[in-house]
Structure 1
Amino acid sequence: MSALIAATAFAATVAAGQDLRKARVAEWKPIVAKFQKPSALRAAWQLSNSVALYVLLWFLMYWSLKISHLLTLSLTILSGAVVVRVFIIMHDCGHGSFLKSKLANDIVGFVAGIVVFTPYYHWRWEHSLHHASSGDLDRRGTGDVWTMTVQEYLDSSRWMRCVYRLARNPFVLLVIAPVFVFVFRQRFSSRKANSRERWSVWWTNLGILGMALTLSWVFGWKMYLFIQLLITTVAGAIGIWMFYVQHQFDGAYWERGEAWDYTVAALQGSSFYRLPKILQWFSGSIGFHHIHHLSPRIPNYNLERCHRAHPIFQDVKPVTIRSSLNSAKLHLWDEERRKLISFRHLKRLQKRGADTGASARNPPHARRQC
């Protein structure tokens, strides 16, 4: 009964057109509480079918190289998608939501981290910072896609603007950056990490080495490196794209200081990426990202059920595959207009400002494009 009352109050708050920040934790928490309970059966089934499929695809890729490179490419896409699914399992373990036992979560999460080239404890620490600051302009930088405001971009040197434009280039963002992050950057710990996070990196590196030696013994080291690089590239591209669309979309939310609100950041600053069922399966339902950010303790296999449990969650405007492609054109957060805009849009604004004599937001050095 209390959950029903809370749900009604939560819906009434938004239906009345009031600010979402009034829908505090006390109002939405009872709605999501029943979906926060892990299921050992669901978790075991998800883990077993993911691991079995990944192992099978490795052998099929090895076999396919003798038949058709086109077949190998198709299997690479499938393998990369399965790695994303394994990553989501690790992700849920990091939130303590995949299994009931903390120890079981940590064991599964650590082993899954080796498979996806990610140090579990170190990643969990950084990811917790992302959840605590998502949508907060004053706390950007950890676990985020690099995002500048318009004014920050205009105030930057020409060199820094060129670097930023390069970082936001789709090829760099989806191909070069993922390989760099998963193969190289995550082999080292952050200077801010504590001893457990640091040791997590080195133990994961040791686990990856053991996995690489074993698979090299089975398939040959050249074949292992070739297949592993293909899978890592595809999985990284899919994973980074998913993460990008979840926070970089038309209608996204960013605020500063006290104006920032957790509930609003979750429901408005995290997208509902509506995917076909097969893609939802491979991505571990993480497209229901607004639900995940509202309550990270909900395991991925319960996200859709929670989304369907109350109209307030379904009222969030979905991002489709087609509309998500427009996200690649969004580069800067415009604090005046409170939306993400493209470099081209900024150029039009600069031209319009120059034509009208406005110069406050169009300093001379900003006119020199990269």
Structure 2
Amino acid sequence: MGAGGRMNVPKTTAEKRTKSEADVLKRVPYSKPPFTVGEIKKAIPPHCFKRSVLHSFSYVVYDLAIASIFYYIATTFIPLLPHPSLAYLAWPLYWICQGCILTGVWVVAHECGHHAFSDYQWLDDTVGLILHSALLVPYFSWKYSHRRHHSNTGSLERDEVFVPKRKSDLRWSAKLLNNPPGRVLTLVVQLTLGWPLYLMFNVSGRPYDRFACHYDPKAPIYNDRERLQILVSDAGVLAASYVLYRLVAAKGLAWAFCVYFGPLLVVNGFLVLITYLQHTHPSLPHYDSSEWDWLRGALATVDRDYGILNKVFHNITDTHVTHHLFSTMPHYHAMEATKAIKPILGEYYQFDSTPIFKAMWREVKECIYVESEEGDQNKGVFWYKNKL
């Protein structure tokens, strides 16, 4: 018996879960952190910043080997199924499994774009160009726009992707879609068409004063020094498209869809989902130019738990905060680094273990636009809201 005769009664599982959910939705601090990037870096073991060609290539070999096995199993055994209707179940299963593995390949190419694959920029760009082109991604085009995203994360004026709208900028369709059927439609379009729409028309990206397209070397996204490499990206995608054209001519469109385009839809869906959930959360602030700084912007992101897919996706899902702080760090050191910096970041670190489908539905419902709080002196700090 202690003060006032109270006893410490262990919390039930339900109470722990409720508290955890409340903590997850609690707004993270938005004031300038009491630590610097240098202090965060000192907490990380030095070997975490070392890049190994052999180690990095081992993930390329592993992913491509698994993808080859899935391809062999699908093309060898699905046609042998005793009843044609079983194929309608088997092919989607293959698309999901292959799509997950190829998302891992995409992540490795993404590391190349950050110069996190090796100490050699030419090698990173060569590997990244080949892997991304094979997935119909313009490597250099995305590399440069994504670099600007990392340089301006959380900025309402300069961030490059999933830039939330202010309430005054919402379109008439926002209110029309603010209901369960509308949210389902939003998610379906976002997960199926979101990635190509972003590349082609900069949908969900930063607004520019003229047309912006990742395939256009004269797009306002890029500067004069980058334009030639945008053409190289286009050439890579065109080369991959030509190979696909020849395969379609030889094997047929149905074969090409079953083997390649089905998994690619899964890859594109995961890319949008992962990025959306990393930067969209009720607890995260956004800033205008009067409040934004790089460190607070980099901390305005959240780590998520995708279960076994964390490993398949090379932990890009549950080490994203570390990735934004130190983007040249190889993914195979990011878990150790995240563990090291969490005590330094404290409440500035956000991790959400909410099941992904539940989180996806919650975010599309709760995070419609951003607005500053009435009566708050920090008018440059904006929070997600959903009241229309």
TM-score (norm 1): 0.77
Distance 2:230 2:190 in 1: 26
Deviations 1:311-344 (A, max 9, x none): 23576231124262322222111222742122xx
Match of 1:204 in 2: 236
Give yes or no for contact 1:189–1:201 (8 Å, CA) kept in 2.
no
Match of 2:22 in 1: none
After the TM superposition, which residues 210-249 of structure 1 pair with which residues of structure 2 at under 5 Å, given as runs? 210-213=242-245, 215-216=247-248, 219-249=251-281
Distance 1:319 1:110 in 2: 33
SS, match of residue 148 in structure 1: coil
Counterpart of 1:148, as a letter, is K
Deviations 1:231-281 (A, max 9, x none): 1211111111000000001211211114112222222x11111232x2111
After the TM superposition, which residues 25-174 of structure 1 pair with which residues of structure 2 at under 5 Å, given as runs? 25-32=37-44, 33-66=46-79, 67=81, 68-140=87-159, 142=160, 144-153=161-170, 158=172, 169-174=186-191
Deviations 1:100-152 (A, max 9, x none): 21111111101011122111111111001111111011214x2x124201233
Give yes or no for contact 1:149–1:335 (8 Å, CA) kept in 2.
no
Match of 2:6 in 1: none
The structural deviation recorded for 1:186 is 5.4
Match of 1:356 in 2: none
Match of 1:309 in 2: 340
Counterpart of 1:290, as a letter, is V
TM-score (norm 2): 0.74
Query: 1:23 and 2:53 equivalent?
Result: no
The structural deviation recorded for 1:46 is 0.6
Give yes or no for contact 2:195–2:269 (8 Å, CA) kept in 1.
yes
The structural deviation recorded for 1:26 is 2.7
After the TM superposition, which residues 323-334 of structure 1 pair with which residues of structure 2 at under 5 Å, given as runs? 324-325=359-360, 326-329=362-365, 330-334=367-371
Say if 1:335 and 1:19 are closer, same or farther in 2 by CA, change over 3 A: closer
Counterpart of 2:267, as a letter, is A
SS, match of residue 315 in structure 2: coil
Give yes or no for contact 1:308–1:314 (8 Å, CA) kept in 2.
no
Say if 1:162 and 1:147 are closer, same or farther in 2 by CA, change over 3 A: farther
Identity %: 17
Aligned length: 321
After the TM superposition, which residues 352-367 of structure 1 pair with which residues of structure 2 at under 5 Å, given as runs? none
Distance 1:18 1:233 in 2: 37
The structural deviation recorded for 1:70 is 1.1
SS, match of residue 298 in structure 1: coil
SS, match of residue 63 in structure 1: helix
The structural deviation recorded for 1:226 is 4.0
Give yes or no for contact 2:53–2:118 (8 Å, CA) kept in 1.
yes
SS, match of residue 314 in structure 2: coil
The structural deviation recorded for 1:18 is 10
Match of 1:251 in 2: 283
Distance 1:95 1:164 in 2: 37
Give yes or no for contact 2:30–2:285 (8 Å, CA) kept in 1.
no
Q: 5+ residue gaps in structure 2? A: 1-28, 82-86, 202-212, 375-381
